[in-house]
Amino acid sequence: MKLKDRTIWITGASSGVGAGMAKVFHREGAELILSARRLGELERVKAACTQGPGSVRLVPFDVIDAGQREQAAREVLGNYPRLDILVNNAGIGQRSAAKDTLPEVERRIMEVDFFAPVALTKLVLPRMIEQQGGHLVVTSSVAGKHAVPHHSTYCAAKHALHGYFDTLRIEHLADHIDVTLLVIAGIRSDVYEHALTADGSEYGASIGSDGTSMSAEECAGQVVDGILRRDFETVIGIEMALQALRIKDKDPAAFVQRMAGMMKWLEKS
């Protein structure tokens, strides 16, 4: 078992990549703390964690509520003498053109996708410093490495995660705290179903369920390997989704044309 006896706290664990990580990490021997807003969905994920020996504790809370966030951290740190890994996975998507997106929608995306994981990290960081070790895993995206049309604020938040956590890695190198950013794309999830449109309503459509996307559990298996390698970044996705990542560095002009074509497709779908 690759994660035997490691205590791991996963946010956004009620569905998608978070749920996939919960199942795979448990199978690999981890002691789990699972968080999300929806207790019923967390209970469903817990019921599916049957293949490992470790315990599964549910700590439901809203990541952007400071009071709930602090109470969740007190509960976790009060019940576990050591926290080995925090997985900042909770997030929200976007599906709207920059020119149409209301400022309050942009602020909500930044709160969920950037400020909340930073705040939660700062609540557990003293424990990791005290124990002289730990691992911060942050779910980013190819949108944290390059532009994606109709995802302007989402891209901004994911880019910000890289700047912040890359710096944190350096600042706490002497504390033996590892940082891994997950650069993922093309993973089967409900990210588009709950993505925010220009006025803040949910998009509601599902993309990536046609058999070409990667399952959340397959993604989670690669996350385990990235944790064990102590990757700075772990890139996970289907070939089609990762092509743009390579094109951006080799031929920026070709990348822009490719994304312009993607924008036309998004506007039709």
* Catalytic sites, residue numbers: 154
Cβ atoms of residues 211 and 188 within 8 Å = no
CA-nearest of 211, 175, 181, 205 to 191 is 205
Cβ atoms of residues 253 and 200 within 8 Å = no
The tokens for 187 are: 């993973």
The tokens for 44 are: 């469903």
Q: How far apart are CA 91 and CA 85, in angstroms?
A: 18
CA-nearest of 5, 57, 47 to 23 is 47
User: What is the number of H-type helices and E-type strands within the chain?
Assistant: 9, 7
Query: Position of tokens 């700062």?
Result: 122
CA-nearest of 26, 145, 131, 43 to 87 is 26
Longest dimension (CA), the chain: 53
Q: How far apart are CA 186 and CA 192, in angstroms?
A: 12
Residue 187 carries which DSSP code? Answer: B
Q: How far apart are CA 117 and CA 161, in angstroms?
A: 9
